[in-house]
Amino acid sequence: MASQFPLETRYWYLRDHQLFRHLNSAELRQICLITNFKTAKKSEIIYFAHDEQNRVYLLKKGIIKIVELDEDGTETVKDVLQKGDLFGQLTLDDTEMEEYAIALSDYVTCCSFLIEDFEEVIRQHPSLAIKFTKLIGMRFRRLENRYSNLMFKDVRTRLLLFLEDWAEKEGTVENNAIMLKNYLTHQDMAGLVCSTRQTVSQLFNEFKQHGLIDYNRSSIIIPDLKRLKSLVN
Amino acid sequence: MASQFPLETRYWYLRDHQLFRHLNSAELRQICLITNFKTAKKSEIIYFAHDEQNRVYLLKKGIIKIVELDEDGTETVKDVLQKGDLFGQLTLDDTEMEEYAIALSDYVTCCSFLIEDFEEVIRQHPSLAIKFTKLIGMRFRRLENRYSNLMFKDVRTRLLLFLEDWAEKEGTVENNAIMLKNYLTHQDMAGLVCSTRQTVSQLFNEFKQHGLIDYNRSSIIIPDLKRLKSLVN
DNA sequence: AGCCAAATGTCAGGAAGCCGACATTCGGGG
DNA sequence: CCCCGAATGTCGGCTTCCTGACATTTGGCT
C-alpha cells in the first residue's frame, strides 16, 4: 500500500491538510514517517474499525460513508465525510466501535496514525493540539445539532434540513438551479436522518410533486433553495 | 465573587482536577491568575451562556443541570454534570448557545477561563492539551451513545438505561437496595431521555407496580439492579 | 441484448408515544 | 399551620411514522 506513494507525494498530501499546514518542511517530513497512506476506488471498503481500533484517520481526497454495524447485524449509515474530515478512533482512546467506511467517489485517499504516535506529535506541536481539539469540537457540535433535530423536528423537516445542508456543501449551480450529484440511496439517507427507506421514498415523491426537487438515481435538482428552506418549520 | 476565595483555596481547587494534577506548583499558580471562581447554592443559576459565550467552565464541586432554551422559549434539560465535568464553550470556538446551568446540589463551585487564555495554557502545556482533548472525546462518545439510543430504543428502554446509568454513577447501597437521592423532576428526566413529562410519569408508575423501583419526590430506590438491567432489550 | 440484484414506489394496518385536559398531591414560605 | 404553586397521576384522542408486503424500475455485468 504505502509503497504506492513516493515520499514526495505523501509530503504534499500531509501539507495540504489544515492540521499540518503551518508546520515547516522538516517537521512535516518527520511526521510523514509515521503516517500510513491508503487508497480505494468507489464501493471499496477503506477502513474497518474492528481491525484497527487504534488508529486515527484523515480523509485526504474523495467522499466516504461511515456505516455502523448493530449487534444484530443491521447496518446504518452514520455519516458522510469529505476531504479534511477525521474518522476512526478520533477520541484517542479505546472505545469499541463496529463500523466501516466505503468510498463513495471514484478515488479516495486517506492517511492514518497510530494513536500513540499521534499523541506524540500533538505533544511536540501544541499548536496542532489546538487545531485538533477544535476539529473534534466541530464534530461535537455537528452531532449536537443532529441530536437536537432528532429531538424536536419531524422526519419531513429533518429531510429538508439534510437536503439544504447537502446543497450548500456540494451543490453546483446549473441553469439557475442547484444540482447535486447523488451517491446515496434512500436507505442511506434514511440512516442519516433517522428514518426508514419507505418514508424517505414517500417524502421524496411528495417533494417532487410539489416541485421542490427533481431527482433520479444519479442526481437531485433543487430549483429554488429558498423555497425549500422556507418549508423548514 | 473571586475575592471570596483566598489564593490558597483556588490553588487547591485547581490542583484537584485531573486536567491540572500533573502540573507543578509554579505552573499551577500561574494558571490560578487567569482563573475565575464562582459559587452557587441550590436552585441558583451559576452560568448563563448568552452573557459569556467565550468561557470554558470546569465543575469543581456539586451537581448542576444544563438547560437549553429553544427559539420559542421552551426549556429542555440537556445534561446533568458532576464534579470534573466541562461545560460552556468547550469547543473553544464561537458557537452560539442558548443555555444556562442551575445548581442541583446544596453547594456548587466552578471555575472558568476565557477561551483565549485557555488556549494559551494549552499551548504551553502540551500534556494538558491531550488530556483536554480526551475529555472532549469522552463527551463526544457520550453524546454518540445518546444519539444511538434515541435512534434505536423506545422510551421505556431509554428510561431504564438512564436509571441504570444513574444508579451506577451515584447510587448508594442501603440495606441491600440501591438508593438514589433524586434532584430531578419527571420533566427533567423527560428532557434527558427525549420524551414527555406524562410518559415518564406513566413509566415510573409502571416500574413501581412491577416492583422494579420504589420512589417519591426525593428519592428512588432500586431493589434489584440486575433485574432492571435484564429488561433493557 | 438480456438478466438479475439492488433500488425505488406504493399502500394498508398498527403501535408508540405526544398532546391537551384535568385531578390530585406535595412541600416550602409566609 | 396553612396556602399556593409546582410536581405528579391519569386518561382518551390523535398523529406520525414504522412495519411488512408486494410491484416496478433501474443499471451494471456477462
pLDDT above 90 covers what percent of chain A?
90
Contacts 24+ apart (CB under 8 A), B193-200: B193/B155, B193/B158, B193/B159, B193/B162, B194/A150, B194/A151, B194/B150, B194/B155, B194/B158, B195/B155, B195/B158, B195/B159, B199/B155, B200/B159
What does the buried/exposed string (b/e) look like for A168-188 if buried means 16 or more CB atoms within 10 Å of the residue's CB?
A: eeebeeeeeebbbebbbebeb
Please tell me the predicted confidence (pLDDT) of residue A204. Answer: 98
Choice between A10 and A169, residue whose per-residue pLDDT is larger? A169
**Strand D nucleotides within a 7 Å radius of protein CB atoms:** 6-12, 16-21, 26-27
CB–CB of A67/A47 below 8 Å? no
What is the length of chain B?
233
Residue in B76, B126, B137 nearest the CB of A123: B126
Per-residue pLDDT band for B2 (boundaries 50, 70, 90) equals very low
Please tell me the predicted confidence (pLDDT) of residue B4. Answer: 67
Domains (range + CATH), chain A: 2-150 (2.60.120.10), 153-230 (1.10.10.10)
Beta bridge partners of B101: B47, B66
Written as nine digits, the cell of B156 is 421505556
Mean pLDDT of B28-56: 94
Written as nine digits, the cell of A195 is 428514518
Q: Is A141 on the interface with B (CB under 8 A)?
A: yes
What digits encode the pLDDT tens for the residues A195-219?
Answer: 999 999 999 999 999 999 999 999 9
Q: Is B92 on the interface with A (CB under 8 A)?
A: yes
Q: Does strand D come within 7 Å of the CB of A91?
A: no
CB–CB of B37/B109 below 8 Å? yes
The verdict on a CB contact (< 8 Å) between A137 and B136 is yes
Question: For D6, which residue's CA is nearest its C1'?
Answer: B185
User: For residue A155, is pLDDT > 60?
Assistant: yes
Interatomic separation, CA of residue A79 and C1' of nucleotide D22, rounded (Å): 31
CB–CB of B193/B159 below 8 Å? yes
CB–CB of A36/A111 below 8 Å? yes
Q: Is B20 on the interface with A (CB under 8 A)?
A: no
Nearest to A79 by CA among A191, A183, A204: A191
Mean pLDDT of B23-40: 93
CB–CB of A137/B90 below 8 Å? yes
Question: DSSP 3-state assignment of A140?
Answer: helix
CB–CB of B159/B189 below 8 Å? yes
Please tell me the predicted confidence (pLDDT) of residue B73. Answer: 85
Write phi, then psi, for B44 (nearest 5 degrees).
Answer: -85, 150
Choice between B220 and A3, residue whose per-residue pLDDT is larger? B220
How much is the mean pLDDT over chain B?
94
Q: Which of B22, B89, B130, B139 is the best substitution to test chain A (most A C-beta atoms within 10 A)?
A: B130
Q: Is A227 on the interface with B (CB under 8 A)?
A: no
Beta strand A64-69 pairing with A99-103: antiparallel
Least-confidence region, from A143-157, A176-190, B10-24 = B10-24
Q: E strand or H helix at B75, and its extent? A: strand B75-81
At A45, the amino acid letter reads I
Beta strands in A148-207 (DSSP E): 172-174, 177-181
Residue A70 DSSP label: P
Q: E strand or H helix at B28, and its extent? A: helix B25-32
What digits encode the pLDDT tens for the residues A14-47?
Answer: 999 999 999 999 999 999 999 999 999 999 999 9
| Closest Cα in chain B, distance from residue A23 (Å) | 15
What is the length of chain A?
233
The verdict on a CB contact (< 8 Å) between B130 and A123 is yes
Nearest to B20 by CA among B131, B139, B117: B131
At B114, the amino acid letter reads L
Written as nine digits, the cell of A160 is 429538508
CB–CB of A92/A115 below 8 Å? yes
What digits encode the pLDDT tens for the residues A54-106?
Answer: 999 999 999 999 999 998 889 999 999 999 999 999 999 999 999 999 999 99
User: For residue A191, is pLDDT > 60?
Assistant: yes
CA-CA distances (angstroms) from residue A104 to A62, A66, B126? 8, 10, 37
Q: DSSP for A95-153?
A: ----EEEEE-SSEEEEEEEEHHHHHHHHHH-HHHHHHHHHHHHHHHHHHHHHHHHHHHS
Written as nine digits, the cell of A85 is 474530515
Q: How far is CA B140 from the centre of its chain?
A: 14
Write phi, then psi, for B215 (nearest 5 degrees).
Answer: -160, 160
Q: Is B86 on the interface with A (CB under 8 A)?
A: no
Beta strand A219-222 pairing with A214-215: antiparallel
Written as nine digits, the cell of B34 is 487567569
d(CA B42, CA B45) in angstroms, rounded, equals 9
Q: Which of A130, A138, A152 is the best substitution to test chain B (most B C-beta atoms within 10 A)?
A: A130
Q: Is A38 exposed, middle or buried (0-12, 13-18, 19+ CB in 10 A)?
A: middle
What ipTM was predicted for this assembly? 0.95
d(CA B208, CA B202) in angstroms, rounded, equals 10
Per-residue pLDDT band for B13 (boundaries 50, 70, 90) equals confident
Taking CA atoms, what residue in B is nearest to A121?
B126
Q: Does strand D come within 7 Å of the CB of A156?
A: yes
Interatomic separation, CA of residue B194 and C1' of nucleotide D3, rounded (Å): 34
Please tell me the predicted confidence (pLDDT) of residue B206. Answer: 97
